[in-house]
Structure 1
Amino acid sequence: MGDGERSGMLIGRRSELSALTGALDRAAAGSASVVLVGGDAGAGKSHLVGALTRTARERGCAVLIGQCAELGESMPYLPLADALWAGAASGDPALRSALESRPVLRRLLPDGDGAGGDLTGELVQQRLFGAVLGLLGELGRDQPVVLVLEDLHWADRSTRHLLTFLSRVLQRERVCLIGTYRSDDLHRRHPLRPIIAELLRLPDVRAIEVAPFGLSETAEFLTALSAASRDVPPTAEEIGRVHRRSEGNPFYAAELYTASRSGEDLPSGLADLLLARVERLSEPASLVVRAASVAGDRVRDALLRQVSGLDEATADEALREVVSHRLLVPDGTEGYRFRHALLREAVYADLLPGERTRLHATYASLLSAAAGRTRAAAALAHHSFAAHDIPTAFAASVEAGREAERMGAPHEAHEHYDRALSLWDAVPDPEKATGTTRLRLQLDAVRASGRSGDARRAVTRLRRLLAEADPADARLGALLRGGLAHYLSDLDHLEEAKAVSREAIAMLPAGPPTYERANALATYARILLAVGEDEGVSLPAVAEEAIAIARAAGATEPEASALVSLGVHRESREADPEVGALFARAGDLAISGGDYQVGLRAAFHRARMLFDHGDLQGAAASAAESVRFTLAHGLGWSMFGATLRCLEFLIHYALGDWDKAGRLSADFPVQVVRPTEAQISAYALFVEVARGEDVTERRRWLESVWDEDALVAYIARGLLAERALWHGDTETALGHTTAVLDELPPFETQAIRIIATALWAHADRAVQARAAGDTATAEAAVRAAGPLLERARTDASTMAGGRPRAWLGLEGHAWLARAEAEHARVLGKNDPSLWRAALDAFSYGFTYEVARSRWRLAEALAEQGDREAAQKEWRTALEEATSLGAAPLVSALTDLGTRARLESRDQAPAGAGLTTREREVLRLVAEGRNNREIAAALFISPKTASVHVSNILTKLNVASRTAAAAKARTEGLLADQGPSAGGRGRG
């Protein structure tokens, strides 16, 4: 294995390696340590222990490594003999001398007297145990000793007794004993299980479980593998596929990834390794595993028994054997699942073709015979298709699609509809079999695509339908064009969407009222909101015509859509206070009619309107309610489902409830493929940048998308510009802001925030240049800043077409105030009144921006010599920033306090500026809790706990948790705390 793969296997193992290194430190200090390292085969136990032994050798420790083998009881003390022989062969004189004085140990070496003889007699065993203890103690006098016993799941009885003996008697010896074992091999009756349970009660014995990789760790691991082999980096699809199949097992992931690059699905070597465990089973147990592999990852107990064809007693015994060997594990109270999905793949691939078909047919027959709720259409479709029963597979696929839609699983619904459409021509009388037409089924597939967030697939299918449609069928043509325009607008192909919607309207007469014409008009009105009104066309008139026709035709969906468009139009021009009620009515109408997409659009604009008007608590409640509905109906990845999730996050970010925002963003993906995923991922940067977290991985994925998605570029690049400015990198910041502003159209209010960030960059440049006497650079910054401010003022006051903008929104006004204040800073006129205006503008509830504005206000006051006022604002800003955990802002304020001499001992916040929450976390750190334990105690996510710990280390200016705990005790930072937050006494 190369260095790249070796280091890759240690990805995500920092805490485990730290625990092992801590055991080595304790041993070196004269307190013996025993660590039992468990994990599935391929999880990386040996690599983890290998990293420790390399560290131990670098520190001058004696390292003895012994390996157990799958030889049963035939070779007692094999790992001990292996360790001693390897140590003696290394030429270590101390070890050779110690062995020479202990004949009973000499017998374990290949050249020893009586090697391989009986060493298990009680008296001889006692002598040997004493000799081993004496050997380790003697070696430890000169240097710490690391003794590693690998693969204890294969250990013989004598080795297990030796492990128990050493774990109990090692105390003050400078010895670190490490044992590794495969968790997945410890079946219920395995003799090592009770020994581990017993040893873990001892005070000096610790356990480490090497867990599977998470998705981000798998991504990092595969990227490291590709870099080591000088291959192209893995794509998001590859990473997701490998992670799902490997379930985070590093060895499996490496094998699958390498094989996939050469076109191999399941590497034969990996399949053989997995099947070796099945081959040890009895024939009935093997039959049960083969039958289970056909069912999928999970199978009900009763169904598995029926398919296996075994009598009750034999089935009981076979299932007990399979479960004891941990090939299948109980899944709830009614069934089983495979211990690892790859094991199922390997067993399934090993079936003979006829055997596979027969088992699928048996499952399909049993499912068809089942009645009511026990019949699962998706499973019936799968098994029927695999058994080559096409008519049953076809009908079941349509039913499964409908079931998936009812259950809120639109992606799965589309897959079922897609399979049914592929079988349509192979089935006699398909309309009779399903009660639907081919066109209706195709439109069902389009709807499912849109609801799952895949507008591109919906557009592709609609284009195909248009190409096949009868040109003379105007109603069908208008219906298809209306749908196409809708999904094109979701993809921001607005000019084409407008043209297509106009075609749809033109195809239909004004009367009689029809759903198709109302839908085309409502879609056209929605598009006009985005692109601006056509010449001679009034958006309100289009929307009101759509509403009138929809009501006459009884079409709730177009009516609701047009009501939302009308509301957004009125809000932008009239600041109409009744618009909220209009959005609510549209939402109720859409939901009652079953159109959840339009309902979510109305819900988004209602929550967004509350947010824009400064009612952040009302907006948070509205968004939370809508997100619950969204997720309950499987619409989290639809266009407005995703937008509502982002809005809920953004509201809590503005409120300053970053713990809540962090819990929400924990579900935002990092490795992104689809545009919707990238947009959601980008929002997570708001808190990550403000807290100073490492965003390298998220940035890497977003960077591959932002050239194709304007919203991703706007959010991600705008926030990365802020991150660059916190690091003093004005050039990178201006690169981001310029790229975003070049793509934003005129009269776009979103530009104001980006302009304020760009002016921050120019102001920093100008300030630095003046301080260095660089007049040319300062003047260049002034020249660049003027047009930026003018654009911000224009965008804030004017709409497309030159109309005055009636409503900008509180946040828009606040960013304009920030831009005005930054522009003055560019000119060298850092004006407190402008920063006061910005502070007041953000005071409707935007906690972080209030603190940032107050920072600049304190700076401006200090520059004018008003030290008392500056101190007051500085102290308040520091408290606000510290409470948020906004590490970059805390650092900037600390720097300002030092430079302007605003800081004094009696004014500095107590506890090194730690927030109440951070002091709670610090107390748990001092107790030795890890991030997961801290998260559980404080009811926060592990990621949020990790952020708090990082902020604490930064504020205390220490490099480790141990140092933080020590400083907390030394400086009395825990003295004012009561019992542990979320402490052990809590039920």
Structure 2
Amino acid sequence: MNGLLIGRSAELRKLLRVLEIAGDGTAGVALLGGDAGIGKTRLVSELVAQARERGFNVLIGQCAELGDALPYLPLADALRGAGPALRAAIAERPVLEQLLPGGEIAPSTGLTQQRLFGSLLGLLGAVQPVLFVIEDLHWADRSTRDLLVFLSRMLQTERVCLVGTYRTDDLHRRHPLRSVLAELKRLPSVTSVEVGPMATEEISDYVATFGEMDGRELREIVHRADGNPFYAEELYAALSEGETFPDGLASLLMSRVELLSEPGQRVLRAAAVAGRRVEDMLLREVSALPLADFEEAVREIVSRGLMRVDGYGYAFRHALLQETVYTDLLPGERTRLHAAFAALLTSPAELAHHHLAGHDLAGALRASAEAGREAERLGAPAEAHRHYDQALSLWERVPDAAELARESRGDLAFRSAIMAADSGDNHRAVAQLRVLPPMSPVYERLSYYLAELGQDEAAVQAGDAAIETATTPAQLARALATTARSLAWTERHAEVAPLARRALEVARSAGVADAEISALIVLAMLSELEGDFTAAAARYEQAASHSSGDLAMDLRAQFARARLLYEQGELTRAAAATEPGIRTAEEAGLKWSTYGTDLRFLRFLIHYVAGEWDAAERLATTFGARVGTVPEAILSSFALFIEVGRGLPAAESRLDWLRPFWTSELATYMSRGMAAEDALWKGDPATAWEHIQACLAKLIPADPGNLRICATGLWALAELGRTDEADDLRRRARTAVAGPDGNRGPMGLEGRAWALRVEAEWSRVNGHHDVPLWQSVVDAFDYGFVYETARSRWRLAEAQLATGDRDAAQTTWTLARDAATALKATPLLSALDEFGRRARFTTPTAAGSLTARELEVLSLVAEGLTNREIAERLFIAQKTVSVHVSNILAKLDASTRTQAAATARSRHLIPDA
């Protein structure tokens, strides 16, 4: 009613604080709750105005009571209203563009919801800063709620402010938004803003801005409004129109509606059936008034402030008004109006809603089935499942149901089960599949979901049934591949290889690419377990070279190929192998999917192991520290490798965020293992030992993860001067090497190196200086693991000095120090310098003083390039190259370019030729 914002300064300050922090580069979320009419929209309007003044791109989407029927309605609404910069970015993301009017829904290639979420995250990151507002979350569909949770967790360093509003008085005990709000409000990145009734003085000041009134009228409005500004506005409007004050807001609203002419009331009642908003053409058709009468009626409604012009139609000034008018309709009147809208609409989801409300069961079944298929293509599995289930619930009450749905009941129920699983409800999917007719596709999916739930025996039984009931080669191929996967970790594992080979043969013959890839991955895994890494690599290569049309399967194959190369020490090839998968994941919006994330983890590890720590640190900054779930905690833990290794202050803050997730096995292993190393570098072996014990309590003795933990534990025991637990750690590590049955087979290069490190650390705890053993550790890590090679050389140098070989110790120490300097591994470098001072070693001048540009020039000198060729390669002057070469020769104490190259290689400043 007026442009002033009165009495909400505290709430606005909280919202602006989130906006300011987002503008500075730390994404934030604000959840704005309050009763209907309390002033949430007015606050948001002020926030939007200030955001635009600060240069923010603004997206505003509104949920509606049809939210459960229309997936991603507020997102589609926000994208429709996007400005030019956002529009251009949306056009580059087809998954988002299909939400716009006229957008074509592309055929699914799997993981559609994750692609949509990832694409939106990419959009928000591309057009920063952004204010994204989602209004009326109490009406949000399941997929929108999932999107809200995803963005709240994944937005980290983006300049994005996400705001959601909701009605507190609508949140009954079982409302689906309640659990979402409870989950999100635990996140430190989320600010909760509760908007309560205005104080008497504030509501008085607010009402006084409306217009002329005497003191008695002002006091009456303030008293009746009870701090609710919308109620106050309606009371003043009634007063201005000469009305008395009926009891209750609903009566007051209807008293204003009743002042309309009969055509005006007729149009308003039709608009209420449409929802909060309605298009002009639809409203005109349903109202069935002559054009002139319709326009006069709408003009009257708008002039009284009951509705406002909104784009190509009209919107109720407040949702409460629409709800009140709708509730006041007679049952028959409501049914007829719903049927009238259904006759004009084309959206399956809206049709389903209006047909059902209009008691047209046949129309509702037909529209629900089609709405389910559309939601499935859009990547809204929860809504698809809901629509399919609604169609199934009407099946027995509608003649010719299969013809109306355009598929059999069994097929529709099968699709419903798949969508239940895709929305995360495997239990619901299993329950639905178990009552379907016995068909191979049903059993195959049942086997897959049971295996996901850890019910291996039931999964194998379903897999056997899938094979027995297969009627086509395609069905048989998928049944065989899924059953082989289900059998892998059961007592029938001897059957896995024959089944997988048969699956591969049938899949290739029938041209079923997804089954072929699945079978190849299973066979490759078996080859790994048998120690035949050449065969495993070949099969992973075959799997990754295929495109199945199923993005999840394709990314799984890409990851498996790159992982094996990494574990075999083929770091350059492994790095190259991650690139296609990472690129596919980013282009498809699947950067945060399971395998999209795993591929980025792997790329980080390759950088870390290969000594490319600047690149590793850049990647680590994308692994958000503000975590709210176990998967996020595991992701965040990877960053600790570089943060602890370099002694960065961020490690301490990250560990604080991770502490609540130390009940998870993997999160404990990842983060507490690194917390132990951090404590050791800081001279606190007692705390390190506590972390080690906690890790060991989570790991089964045969888990290979024990090796690194046991090695770190022995380091802690050596610092504590305790030998009593050392034997237990070595015994546990040896069990991990042997495997649960003593027949694990050969380990990868890194695993073998850690096993040797355990033996060497055990020797050190017991006071031995075993030079050959520490040399074997160095040699084992020297396949390319720069940091661990340097750490092992530290201990080798200590052993060499203790056994009297001072020259060898000096050389080993120098190599370790050069590597630590190049890595900027401050804790290790400090330890090496302390050891060097005690040993009175001569500090080298080479590695520590070579600049990044000098290292670039040095690598090209080692390739045999002339100064002119180096200048052309680096786009610098030949004279500048000459200066760099002179500096390099001086720093390396070398007289020739060849000698400089040889010295650099011996100190691992550049790769070997």
- Check if 1:876 corresponds to 2:838: no
How many Å separate the matches in 2 of 1:844 and 1:909? 24
Aligned to 1:819: 758
SS at match of 1:665: coil
Answer whether contact 1:367 1:380 (CA < 8 A) is retained.
Answer: yes
Local SS of the residue matching 1:501? helix
User: How far apart, CA to CA, are the structure 2 residues paired with 1:460 and 1:354?
Assistant: 38
Matches within 5 A, 1:349-360: 352-353=326-327
* Aligned counterparts of 1:336 and 1:859: Cα–Cα separation in 2: 81
Q: How does 1:320-359 map to 2 (within 5 A)?
A: 352-353=326-327
By how many angstroms is 1:459 displaced? 3.5
Q: How far has the Cα of 1:183 moved from its partner?
A: 4.6
Partner of residue 671, structure 1 = 628
What pairs up with 1:779-858 in 2 under 5 angstroms? 779-780=723-724, 784-796=725-737, 798=738, 801-803=741-743, 805-806=745-746, 808-829=747-768, 834=773, 837-850=776-789, 852-853=791-792, 856=795
Percent identity at matched positions? 34
Q: Does 1:501 find its partner at 2:460?
A: yes
SS of the equivalent of 1:251 reads: strand
User: Which position in structure 2 is the counterpart of 1:757?
Assistant: 712
Q: Secondary structure at the match of 2:628?
A: coil
1:610 aligns with: 565
Scaled by the length of structure 2, what TM-score is found? 0.56
CA deviation profile, 1:162-204 (whole Å, cap 9, x unmatched): xxxxxxxxxxxxxxxxxxx955577999xxxxxxxxxxxxxxx
AA paired with 1:525? A
Cα deviation, residue 543, structure 1: 1.6
Distance 1:328 1:729 in 2: 68
In structure 2, C-alpha distance between the alignment counterparts of 1:426 and 1:703, rounded to whole Å: 55
- Inter-CA distance 272–12: structure 2 relative to 1 (3 Å threshold): closer
Cα distance in structure 2, aligned partners of 1:626 and 1:13: 39
TM-score by length of 1: 0.52
Deviation at 1:462, TM superposition (A): 0.9
Asked if 2 retains the 8 angstrom alpha-carbon contact of 1:718 and 1:736, the reply is yes
| Partner residue in 1 for 2:447 | 485
Q: Please state whether the residue corresponding to 2:704 is helix, strand or coil.
A: coil
Distance 1:251 1:366, change over 3 A: same
Amino acid at match of 2:502: E
Aligned-CA RMSD value? 6.3
- Asked whether the equivalents of residues 43 and 211 of structure 1 are also in contact (C-alpha less than 8 Å), the reply is no
**Which residue pairs with 2:530 in the alignment?**
573
Equivalent-residue separation in structure 2 for 1:693 and 1:822 (angstroms): 28
**SS in structure 2 at match of 1:526:** helix
Is 1:562 the counterpart of 2:530? The answer is no
Instruction: Write the distance in 1 (CA, Å) between the matches of 2:277 and 2:843.
Output: 65
Paired position in structure 1 for 2:377: 406
- Give the number of the structure with larger relative contact order, counting CA–CA contacts within 8 Å between residues 6 or more apart: 2
In structure 1, the partner of 2:181 is 238
One-letter amino acid of the structure 2 residue matched with residue 572 of structure 1: L
Alignment equivalent of 1:461, drawn from 421, 425, 429: 429
Alignment partner, residue 937 of structure 1: none
CA gap 1:306/1:557 in 2 versus in 1, 3 angstroms: same
The answer as to 2:184 corresponding to 1:251 is no
What is the letter of the counterpart of residue 426 of structure 2? A
Instruction: Compute the displacement of 1:869 (Å).
Output: 3.2
- Contact 2:500 2:522 (8 Å CA) reproduced: yes
Answer yes or no: is the 8 Å Cα contact 2:470–2:479 preserved in 1.
Answer: no
The CA distance in 2 between the partners of 1:319 and 1:736, in whole Å, is 67
CA drift of 1:402 comes to 3.1
TM alignment of 1:645-794, pairs within 5 A: 645-654=600-609, 655-656=612-613, 657-662=615-620, 664-666=622-624, 670-672=627-629, 676=631, 679-680=634-635, 682-687=637-642, 689-690=644-645, 692=648, 707=663, 710-745=665-700, 747-766=702-721, 778-780=722-724, 784-794=725-735
Call closer, same or farther: CA 1:384–1:249 in 2, change over 3 Å.
Answer: farther
**Cα displacement (A) at 1:501:** 0.7
Distance 2:356 2:607 in 1: 48
Structure 1 residue 565 displacement after superposition: 0.5
**2-side partners of 1:389 and 1:697: how far apart?**
59
Distance 2:369 2:586 in 1: 23
Letter paired with 2:327: P
- Equivalent residue for 2:485? 526
Superposition deviation, residue 526 in structure 1: 1.9
**Map of 1:124 onto structure 2:** none
In the aligned structure 2, how far is the partner of 1:695 from the partner of 1:337?
Answer: 51
Q: 1:484 deviation in Å? A: 3.5
Deviations 1:905-934 (A, max 9, x none): 978957xx9999xxxxxxxxxxxxxxxxxx
Contact 1:40 1:182 in 2 (8 A): no
Query: What per-residue deviation string (whole Å, max 9, x for no partner) do you get for residues 59-112 of structure 1?
Result: xxxxxxxxxxx9xxxxxxxxxxxxxxxxxxxxxxxxxxxxxxxxxxxxxxxxxx
Give 1:612 deviation, angstroms. 1.8
| 1:676 Cα offset (Å) | 5.0
Q: How many residues align?
A: 661
1:507-561 Cα distance to aligned partner (Å, 9 max, x none): 86599776565544423422444x26638x3432232233345556665544432
Q: Matched residues in 1 for 2:758 and 2:281: separation? A: 69
Map Cα deviations across residues 423-473 of structure 1 (whole Å, 9 max, x no partner): 656655443232233433333244335445x3xx2244214532x356xx4
Cα distance in 2 between the residues matched to 1:270 and 1:628: 57
AA matched with 2:752: H
Structure 1 contact 540–566 (Cα < 8 Å) conserved: yes
Go from structure 1 to structure 2 and tell me whether the alpha carbon gap of 1:504 and 1:384 turns closer, same or farther (over 3 Å shift). Answer: same
8 A Cα contact 1:679 1:711, kept in partner = yes
**Structure 1, residues 381-437: CA drift from partner, whole Å, max 9, x if none?**
567667776655554444344334434555554455455555656655443232233
**Paired position in structure 1 for 2:859:** none
Aligned amino acid, residue 821 of structure 2: E
- Seen in structure 2, the aligned counterparts of structure 1 residues 367 and 13 have a Cα distance that, compared at 3 Å, is same
Structure 2 CA distance, aligned partners of 1:361 and 1:835? 86
| Distance across 2 between alignment mates of 1:336 and 1:724 | 63
Equivalent in the alignment of 2:410: 439
**Who is 1:972 aligned against?**
none
- Counterparts of 1:318 and 1:847, CA distance in 2: 75
SS at match of 1:829: coil
CA 1:253–1:188: 2 relative to 1, 3 Å: closer
Would the aligned equivalents of 1:407 and 1:633 in 2 still touch at CA under 8 Å?
no
For the Cα contact (< 8 Å) 1:485–1:501, is it kept in 2?
yes
Instruction: State the secondary structure of the residue aligned to 1:600.
Output: helix
Distance 1:617 1:316, change over 3 A: farther
- Corresponding letter in the other structure for 1:810: L
Q: 2: distance between equivalents of 1:270 and 1:721?
A: 58
Give the Å deviation of 1:671: 1.1
Match of 1:540 in 2: 497
Letter in 2 for 1:483: R
Displacement of 1:900 in angstroms is 6.2
Separation in structure 1 between the aligned mates of residue 378 and residue 324 of structure 2, nearest angstrom: 34
**Is the 8 Å Cα contact of residues 707 and 755 (structure 2) preserved in structure 1?**
yes
* Structure 2 segments unaligned to the other structure (5+ residues): 1-9, 34-38, 54-128, 134-147, 163-176, 198-223, 241-255, 258-263, 854-913
Change (3 A) 1:818 1:368: farther
State the one-letter code of the partner of 1:805.
G
What is the Cα deviation at residue 239 of structure 1? 4.1
CA–CA separation in structure 1 for the residues paired with 2:581 and 2:226: 46
2:771–2:799: 8 Å Cα contact kept in structure 1? yes
Taking structure 1 as reference, are residues 182 and 758 closer, same or farther at Cα in structure 2, changes over 3 Å only? Answer: same
Kindly indicate whether the alpha-carbon contact (under 8 Å) linking 1:408 and 1:632 is maintained by their aligned counterparts in 2. no
Q: Structure 1: which amino acid aligns with 2:750?
A: E
